[in-house]
Structures are given as C-alpha cells and as structure tokens.
C-alpha cells in the first residue's frame, strides 16, 4: 500500500509518496475533536491509523495510539489554519506537480493514479485537498524556521573548528526520543524522572514514548531515524557522544522541555573528497495544453534528435522550460551531492561523462541530461560555510518547530471528544 507523505525542503523541491488520506464518505460519524472551528472526525482518526499501522509497534489501535493520532491531526489542523491566516497559498500547479510525481513513482499516469486511489476507497478530490494541506504545512514550517533561526558567522566559525578538531569524521546516530513540554517545570521534571525509572530496554522506551511523549515522532516510538551528528541538536550529541548503543540518556533539559534519549545504534565514516558533476539538462513540463503523456512524447522526440547529432545546448535554448538554465544552453554548472531531487541525482550518477540520459520524470517534469565532467575536489570555503549553515539550521529547527506548535496550541480553541 502507498503511504506517508514526505516533504523535502531542498531548494524548491517537494517529494511525495501517496497516502490514503480519507476513505470514501459513508454515514455521518462521531466527532473526535474541534480545532477552532475545524472538526476532526472519528473516521479521520481511523483513516490515519490505516496509514501508520505498519509503523505502530504491534499494529493495534490502543487508546494511547488513538491519542497520539488525534494529537497529530490536531497539530496539522493548527498548522493549516496558521498558514491560511498568514496568507500562504498553494497553486494548482504545485498540487498537480506533487500528484504527477506520485503517479510517476508508481509507474503510472494521472488516470492510473486515480484508479489506484479508487481501489483503496480514496476520493480523489479529498486526496487533492490533503496534498494541498501538506504543502501548506511545509511552507508554514519553512517560513517559521527562516524567521526564527538566525545563524551568525561566529557560529559557523565555531562549527567548522569543531569539525576540524574531530578529524573531519561524520558520526551518525539512530536515536529514540521522548520530550515532555515544561509548562510547569517541577511537574514535568518529576514526570520525566518517573518515565525514566520505567525504562530498562528499548521496548520499554518505545512503550513510554507512545504513552507519554509530546514529540513529533511519538507514534513511531520516538524513532528519529539515522541522522548525522551535525544535524542533531548540540544538546543531543553532547549527551550521547560517549554513550554506547543500548543505553538510556537523560533526563536533559532544554527550552522545549525535558528529554530522554535511547541510543539505538552508532556508526562513523570518514568524509571523502567531494565529487562534483558538471551537468546540462533540458526540462519540459506538462501544462494546460500539453498533458503528461504528450510531454513525455516531446522529451522522447528531443532525445532522438540528440541521438541523431543535434546540439544539446541549441535544443535546450529552444525547448527547455527551466528558466534558470535555458539561456546557458541548459548548463547547471558543477553540482554537489544533495543539491538536486533524488530522481535527478540518480540518473546523473548513472550517466557517463559525455553521455546523454534517456528522458526521465521528476516532480518538475520530464528531463534529459548530459554529463559534461566529473571531479574530486576539496570543498571550497564558501561551500563549507554553506554546508555548516545548513547543518546548524537543521540542529535548531526541531526545537523551533516544537516551540511554535506549543504556541499554536496555547492560542487555539481545542475541544477533544471521547479522549
């Protein structure tokens, strides 16, 4: 089954996989909660459980799981309300591109995707609405992060100095996380200590996270997944640096509340010289007068012309719809890893220098690329500083988002039913 919507704010990309957002309407059902004037129904809770069931320990809808799902739906409603109040908008083109990427990732077109949704009892119009809501949430989070996180030049200098002192290694951690927000510090401290006293194993941690954590990943047992050390809050890395896998860390206190961490695994790998790839591409997009199938056909015609000896730069200037590179004959310059969307990077990596790729699909449309060169290079000071700023931003954004969500909850009318 397709599941889980994934937003990735790298440049302007949004990467998606399909999620069963709402079963076809049946009879009027119970009210789970009201967020300001927005209702959340019992059927919404049940539909979300079907999405996350594979990730829920035991796969059973317990009272605690229901509470965490309802918390998740409430937070989503708060974020959508905030985005609309701030005047954040999502265009039909953005929704169309996200949906076409879902279709492409499932090796089908729009009609095929509609058929897949229908076979799962998912109304297409409601599916579009949910996609729009998820894009709104991503934009709102990006706006909040950009406005509240400030990275100083001194912080970047200190970060790079720490990296150099560590011998340029990139430790990675897989952690589980429990957080209790501290509206009453003494009460929260006592509660987190009681939770810690009940944890003797990873399974204990999972159960306590589902039951009590206020974190974004509570329903997954607090699993943060694999993260590089420089992408975690400094508080976390300092706390777990000398702790072996299979151990509990905390409680530790931050502005967001009290935290417990479980070290699941650690790994370390040396940072190699960075490979850069010089790439040019042609991009054609579906639009009002040319559907996706016709756009693919155009890309195949252009590919054949290139195979017959046409000049890549000339075709890019004439046909490419990527405004940033068209004038340069499709030249994107030297690309560093992690810059482009995954579909582009995969084809780029698999294409030999001097070769031209076959047409391929991303959420932006149909691409043809050619690799003009590759090089192993020491990362320049400018790139190092940009990467350091990005890592520092990632370290801070989890706490920023948690604090922002607390503010939204405090300012909203939330009425929970049967929970």
Question: What backbone torsions phi and psi does residue 92 show, to the nearest 5 degrees?
Answer: -60, -35
Q: Are residues 205 and 279 in the same domain?
A: no
Q: Identify whether 235 is part of a domain.
A: yes
> CA-to-CA distance for 13 and 7, rounded, in angstroms?
8
pLDDT at 354: 92
Do 280 and 266 belong to one domain? no
What is the domain-level CATH number for residue 37? Answer: 1.10.4030.10
The verdict on 260 and 243 lying in the same domain is: yes
Amino acid 241: pLDDT:
82
Give the Cα separation of 67 and 57 in Å (integer).
15
| Residue 394 CB-density burial (10 A; 0-12 exposed, 13-18 middle, 19+ buried) | middle
Both 263 and 291 in one domain: the answer is no
116 & 184 share domain: no
Same domain, 318 and 352: yes
Quick one: tokens of 277? 């790839």
Is position 224 within any domain? yes
Q: Say yes or no: 102 and 205 in one domain.
A: no
- Count how many domains the chain has: 3
Question: Angle CA(237)–CA(181)–CA(138) in degrees, nearest 5?
Answer: 75
| Beta pairing, strands 274-284 & 365-377 | antiparallel
Tell which residue, 227, 230, 306, has the closest CA to residue 261.
227
Instruction: Tell me the CA distances in angstroms from 97 to 45, 222, 254, 280, 285, one per residue in order.
Output: 28, 32, 39, 22, 9
Q: Is the pTM of this model over 0.75?
A: no
Give the C-alpha separation, 345 to 273, whole Å: 18
Round to whole Å and give the CA distance between 251 and 259. 5
Give the range of the structural domain holding residue 394, as residue numbers without chain letter: 168-272+383-416
Check residue 10 and give its pLDDT: 22
**One domain for residues 249 and 201:** yes
User: Are residues 311 and 235 part of one domain?
Assistant: no
Residues 404, 258 within the same domain: yes
Which run of H or E residues covers position 148? helix 124-148
In a domain, 15, yes or no: no
265 and 407 part of one domain? yes
Q: Is residue 185 included in any domain, yes or no?
A: yes
DSSP state of 220: G
Beta-bridge mates of residue 409: none
The count of other CB atoms within 10 Å of the CB of residue 349 is: 12
Distance in angstroms (rounded) separating the CA atoms of residues 100 and 55: 26
* Domain at 174, CATH number: 3.10.50.40
Coil/strand/helix, residue 160:
helix
Identify any residues that bridge with 281 across adjacent strands, giving them in sequence order.
369
Is the Cβ–Cβ distance between 299 and 359 less than 8 Å?
yes
pLDDT value, residue 250: 85
Beta bridge partners of 276: 375
User: Helix or strand or coil: residue 30?
Assistant: coil
Structural domain includes residue 18? no
| In a domain? residue 388 | yes
- Answer whether residue 197 is part of any domain: yes
Instruction: Looking at the structure, tell me whether residues 255 and 401 fall in a common domain.
Output: yes
Series of mean pLDDT values for 10-residue runs along the chain (419 residues): 29 31 50 87 82 73 86 90 90 86 81 84 81 89 86 84 61 89 85 93 91 86 84 84 88 88 80 76 87 91 94 93 86 84 89 94 90 76 74 78 86 80
153 found inside a domain? no
């Amino acid at each position: 089954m397709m599941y889980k919507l994934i937003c990735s704010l790298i440049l302007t990309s949004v990467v998606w996989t399909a999620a069963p957002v709402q079963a076809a309407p049946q009879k009027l059902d119970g009210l789970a909660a009201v967020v300001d004037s927005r209702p959340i129904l019992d059927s919404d809770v049940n539909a979300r459980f079907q999405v996350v069931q594979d990730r829920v320990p035991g796969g059973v809808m317990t009272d605690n799981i229901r509470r965490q799902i309802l918390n998740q739906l409430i937070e989503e409603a708060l974020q959508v309300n905030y985005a609309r109040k701030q005047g954040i908008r999502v265009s039909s083109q953005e929704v169309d591109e996200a949906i076409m990427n879902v279709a492409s990732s499932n090796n089908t077109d729009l009609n095929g995707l509609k058929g897949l949704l229908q076979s799962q009892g998912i109304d297409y119009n409601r599916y579009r609405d949910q996609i729009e809501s998820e894009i709104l949430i991503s934009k709102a989070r990006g706006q909040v992060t950009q406005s509240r996180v400030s990275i100083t030049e001194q912080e970047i200098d200190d970060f790079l100095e720490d990296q150099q002192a560590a011998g340029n290694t990139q430790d990675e951690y897989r952690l589980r996380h429990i957080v209790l927000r501290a509206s009453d510090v003494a009460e929260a401290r006592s509660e987190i200590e009681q939770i810690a006293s009940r944890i003797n194993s990873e399974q204990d941690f999972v159960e306590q996270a589902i039951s009590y954590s206020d974190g974004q990943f509570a329903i997954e047992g607090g699993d943060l997944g694999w993260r590089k050390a420089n992408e975690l809050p400094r508080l976390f890395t300092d706390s777990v640096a000398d702790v072996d896998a299979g151990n509990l860390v905390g409680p530790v206190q931050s502005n967001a509340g009290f935290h417990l961490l479980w070290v699941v695994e650690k790994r370390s790998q040396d940072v190699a010289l960075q490979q850069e790839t010089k790439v040019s591409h042609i991009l054609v997009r579906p639009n009002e007068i040319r559907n996706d199938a016709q756009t693919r056909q155009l890309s195949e015609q252009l590919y054949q012309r290139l195979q017959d000896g046409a000049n890549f730069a000339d075709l890019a200037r004439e046909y490419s719809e990527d405004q940033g590179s068209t004038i340069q004959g499709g030249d994107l310059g030297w690309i560093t890893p992690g810059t482009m969307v995954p579909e582009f990077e995969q084809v780029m990596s698999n294409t030999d220098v001097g070769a031209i790729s076959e047409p391929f699909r991303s959420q932006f449309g149909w691409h043809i690329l050619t690799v003009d060169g590759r090089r192993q290079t020491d990362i320049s000071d400018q790139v190092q500083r940009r990467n350091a700023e990005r890592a520092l931003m990632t370290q801070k954004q989890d706490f920023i988002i948690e604090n922002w969500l607390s503010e939204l909850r405090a300012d909203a009318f939330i009425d929970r039913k049967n929970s």
